[in-house]
Amino acid sequence: MARRLVPSSFECDCGHQVHFFERTVWEMEAGSKKSRKPEVIIDSDDNKHSVEFFKGRATAVHCPTLGRCEITG
């Protein structure tokens, strides 16, 4: 299962780590509270991992090889 490392970093099941600015993650969490569908931010790295936010929290990491990985920790 994917996990949240620090307030703005996430780790996929494949071992890839995604890092964003804390302000970016905070804005995504706030914006996802208002939206009816999940919002996604994409890593600028070549691996194209993305993080999904829904109802004010990060819910999953989307991996190009493993697919959708739920965030558990």
Report pTM.
0.90
- At 63 the pLDDT is 94
pLDDT in tens, 31-51: 999 999 999 999 887 778 999
- At 44 the pLDDT is 83
User: Are residues 61 and 18 in contact, defined by beta-carbon separation less than 8 angstroms?
Assistant: yes
Written as one string, the DSSP assignment of 12-57 is: -TTS-EEE--HHHHHHHHHHHHH-SS-EEEE-SSTT--EEEEETTE
- At 5 the pLDDT is 93
Q: Which residues of the chain have pLDDT under 70?
A: none
Q: What is the C-alpha separation between 32 and 12, in angstroms, rounded?
A: 21
